Amino acid sequence: MKDRIPTSLLLFISIILSGAGLGAQFPGISPQKHFPWSDTSLSPDQRADMVIREMTLDEKIQLLHGLGWNTLFSQPESGPATRAISTLGFIPGIPRLGIPDLQMTDSNQGVSMAGSKGRYATAFPSGEAMASAWDPALSYQIGTQLGHEMRDMGFNMSLGSGVNLIREPRDGRTFEYKGEDPLLAGTLAGSELKAEKALHLITDVKHYAVNDQDAGRIVVNSIISKRAMQESDLLAFQIALRDSGAGAVMCSYNKINGTYACQNTYTLNDVLRKQFGFKGFVVSDWGATQSTVPAAMAGLDIEMPGNDSFGAPLKKAVETGAVPMQQLNDMVHRVLRTEFDSGIVDDPPQPESPNVMLGFQIAQKTEERGAVLLKNQGSVLPLDAASVRSIAVIGGHADVGVLSGGGSSQVSPAGGNPVLPPPELLKNPLAGFMLVDVYQRSAPLKGIEQKAPGAVVRFDPGTDPASAAALARNSHIAIVFAVQHESEGMDLPNLSLPGNQDALIEAVAAANPRTIVVLETGGAVLMPWIDKVAAVVEAWYPGIRGSQAISNLLFGDVNPSGRLPLTFPRSEADLPHPLHLAPPPTDASHPMPVLAGAPGQVGLMMGIGPFFDVHYDEGLKVGYKWYDAEKKPVLFPFGFGLSYTTFAYSGLTVTPGATTTISFTVKNTGSRAGTETPQVYASLPAAAGEPPNRLVGWSRVPLAPGESKRISIHVARDRLMIFDESTNAWTLMPGTYVLHVGPSSRDLPLQQEISF
């Protein structure tokens, strides 16, 4: 099969069909209490070693790969595959030894593809929306709900969360991730995964590592210094793993400094296992295994979803001594000890009905805390339902739903997609999977109508700027919903709103000075119209309760408290890489499949052409650190977000030590209750060679009108360290440090020096 169809194409099809769900609805193997390793007083390592001593070579190999690509084309009628919820996320267990099947699912914004199994899954807001809440406690709630829903469906392994930093804001998977700062991304992902592990699931952090664009991700070579990697992308993984105890790491497609990520000794062995002390297993991204012996010896444990490298070839390599038996046993040990450590052996999932209403509540809370108020000229927001006479709601399919991100993390919309895709996409199922805009059935128009029952609310699709402007001109308030679809498998051609939406907003704003723009985007967008509109709300991909959350924010039932987890640049010329480094043109000997109907220039994940290098010469300067170091003005800075009230900072004191304590007072100086997110940044000594500031701590502070609170943020010394390549270790540079406190990376009214 592999000789006839390119692996990259099989990979692409696999994602489409991964939710097909063959076999039993809730398969599983009940633990056999009579096994010696059923003794829960033993450590996971002891239990794993006891099992390994009873295993045959074939059983060991069986635990290290998926069922193979052939399951795409034939439904198994017998054997272990009939137990699979999804054959492409399944590894059969060993019933005779009481070892359960591994049932895996993507879960970045909800249990993906649940709808294809006839099951409900909560569509949460996107990863960027979660990150914009800056709220580890909320992330734990999200993880708890995700964990329950996975167990309800019979899954015992979560393929999330993603912590790849936003080095390339045109990356088609920006919406899945948690921003541009390693402390923020790692902390929030760690909290979410800690909650999932507490429910006895194997949890996973991905995509390891420096997988910062999707254009040609199979053929991109990420070139970056060890120090830059350690202080950015790898640090996010380290924090997430430390805080969560996650059992798995998914290695990525790309090369890192010339070596595939799934056979990279430096990242998998030297960093992940030796430096981080990671005891779990490494699983390949789907189709990312490129070899047998090099991958096994470098630290890859499981090939997914196929068996081309870790099936018969691995068995042969062990039999010939190319892969020592001890290495194989170590691989199997890591898998088994993770299964015992996670609890999936002793407490397997049981079928239950999901708590749909609780999922609604958490999804709505996430959007309400994650939406970011970017502009509010003349306090046009919040809207006063009693005084608003008429409202024009324009564009973004706001009459039927809210947008979501595509690819493997796509959560099936309850009731189906309310927006029919263009016919040309339907002709190509591969294109349709990635490029069709999928909407969750939560219509902002309905929410706005309910909030303003005394107003005349009319909708215009926004396809004709002149028609939309005419409606806006005859309305008291105009609300434009602007959308930007992102998906795995492609990158954005640019940061502009697609289609004719910029012209639409310009026309509406010219017709009505009280124009409000609600953005449903996967990341940063350019705003050539920013000076012409009254208000802007970044709603990201709002999830299943987007209508309720957005209307609550617009009408002031909820005070916006979201803060940006990534910088919004003024122009693409200000990016570290103004020209997107996409795959080079291909020839007949190196075909790059292209999907019909793709908007603009998209680089597809299934590129099998020649490799191309991406030099991350910006190094340490990721996101806001780049703009600060290069002294570039930005549209909206990292950490920024407005409120319907105001806050003041005072009284900074800093107590240095093994853990430095930064204390200060925050006061709500306005007339409404609100939540502020004070942030602490550190400037290191000049000799450290660091960007001007790095985030080292933050807190969420709810305050009543006129209320003050004394806040203390504790900064561990490792947050002030740099990575020294000459010693291959983290070190604290002697000298003067400046600690800054304020509401964003570009607004830091308090500062104090300390010395180490």
Nearest to 181 by CA among 239, 268, 108: 239
Q: Which CATH architecture has domain 45-69+101-342?
A: Alpha-Beta Barrel (3.20)
Per the prediction, the chain carries an average pLDDT of 91
Enumerate the domain spans of the chain. 45-69+101-342, 368-569, 645-755
> In whole angstroms, how far apart are CA 200 and each of 103, 156, 349?
13, 8, 8
CATH number for the segment(s) 368-569: 3.40.50.1700
- The pTM of this model reads 0.94
Residue 79: pLDDT band by 50, 70, 90 thresholds?
confident
pLDDT reported for residue 709: 98
**Confidence tier at 436 by pLDDT (50, 70, 90):** confident
Give the C-alpha separation, 139 to 184, whole Å: 12
pLDDT of residue 424: 73
What would the pLDDT profile of 298-345 be if each residue is shown by its tens digit? 999 999 999 999 999 999 999 999 999 999 999 999 999 999 999 999
Tell me what pLDDT residue 53 has. 98
Render pLDDT for 542-576 as a digit per residue (tens, 0 to 9): 999 999 999 999 999 999 999 999 999 999 999 99
User: In sequence order, what are the beta bridge partners of 518?
Assistant: 481, 537
Specify the residue for token string 């950490």. Answer: 639
Lowest mean pLDDT among 175-184, 533-542, 604-613: 604-613
Give the per-residue pLDDT at 422. Answer: 78
Average pLDDT of the residues in 607-628: 89
| 305-324 per-residue burial string, b: 16 or more CB within 10 A, e: under 16 | bbbbbbbebbbebbeeeebe
> What is the pLDDT, as a whole number, of residue 69?
74
Q: What is the mean pLDDT of residues 594-616?
A: 55
- Mean pLDDT throughout 154-173? 95
CA 508 to CA 473: how far, in whole Å? 8
pLDDT of residue 602 exceeding 70, the answer is no
Say what the pLDDT of residue 87 is. 87
CA–CA–CA angle 561, 624, 536 (5° rounding)? 40
CA gap 148, 351 in Å, rounded: 10
Residue 525's pLDDT band, with cuts at 50, 70 and 90, is very high
Which pLDDT value is given to residue 355?
A: 92
| Mean pLDDT within 716-744 | 97
Give the pLDDT of residue 515. 98
- Please determine, for residue 174, whether its predicted confidence score (pLDDT) is greater than 50: yes
Mean pLDDT of 33-60: 96
Residues 645-755, CATH architecture: Sandwich (2.60)
Per-residue model confidence as pLDDT tens digits over 339-383: 999 999 999 998 888 899 999 999 999 999 999 999 999 999 999
What pLDDT is recorded for position 172? 94
Give residue-wise pLDDT tens across range 213-267: 998 899 999 999 999 999 999 999 999 999 999 999 999 999 999 999 999 999 9
Indicate if the pLDDT at residue 588 is higher than 60. no
Are 568 and 635 contacting, i.e. CB atoms less than 8 angstroms apart? yes
The pLDDT-based confidence of 5 (bands split at 50, 70, 90) is: very low
Which range is least confidently modeled, 53-57, 81-85, 630-634?
81-85
Give the model's pLDDT for residue 433. Answer: 63
pLDDT tens digit string along 461-482? 999 999 999 999 999 999 999 9
Average pLDDT over residues 26-45: 77
pLDDT for 51 equals: 98
Q: Where would I find the beta strands (DSSP E) of 462-534?
A: 477-483, 515-520
DSSP 572: G
Q: 110-119 pLDDT, tens per residue?
A: 998 676 566 8
pLDDT for 1: 34
The DSSP H or E segment spanning 58 is helix 57-62
**Portion of the chain with pLDDT greater than 70, in percent:** 90
**Tokens for 756?**
């180490």
- pLDDT at res. 72: 66
